[in-house]
A = this chain, B = another copy of it.
Amino acid sequence: MTEIKQTSTNFSNKSALSDECPEAYASTIIGGQWTLVICSWLLSGKLRFGELKKKLPNITERMLTLQLRKLEENMIISRTVYAEVPPRVEYELTPIGYSLKPVIKELENWGVHHKKLTSKQLETEG
């Protein structure tokens, strides 16, 4: 994540794909390891950094920070800092972030469907 090399083939490939193909574009935005889970949680309301951390027991603080920053850059979430000590920071979906809801729903449907089907398949084979 941190730094990407704008001279790499990978970068230009991703750019070209994103230009031509809105679904690939969407995928680069919401395709991070923890991105969809974070968005799913935020669909039910804003959460603090620490609260998100508890929801995702295995994420490191660094990863959580990186993902949140990326989501913020992409205007999926907004970040509100309260001038208190200890600090309090709240994350919330923006309107366009919230509009991910049907996307997530379809992904979820399909995921459930696929999982069922492939586990059946394994039973038959075994």
Contact = CB atoms under 8 A, between A and B. Distances in A.
A9 B17 CA distance: 30
B23 A40 contact: yes
Identical chains bound together, number: 2
A26 B106 CA distance: 10
Given A103-B103, A106-B106, 15 more contacts: A17-B33, A21-B36, A22-B112, A23-B36, A23-B37, A23-B107, A25-B111, A26-B108, A27-B31, A31-B31, A75-B117, A96-B113, A96-B114, A96-B117, A103-B106
B40 A21 contact: yes
11 contacts: A17-B34, A21-B40, A23-B36, A23-B40, A23-B107, A27-B35, A99-B110, A99-B113, A102-B106, A102-B110, A103-B110
A52 interface: no
Contact of A37 (B17, B58, B100, B109): B17
A104 B118 CA distance: 20
Interface of A: 9-10, 12-14, 16-17, 21-27, 29-31, 33-37, 40, 58-59, 74-75, 96, 99-100, 102-104, 106-115, 117-118, 121
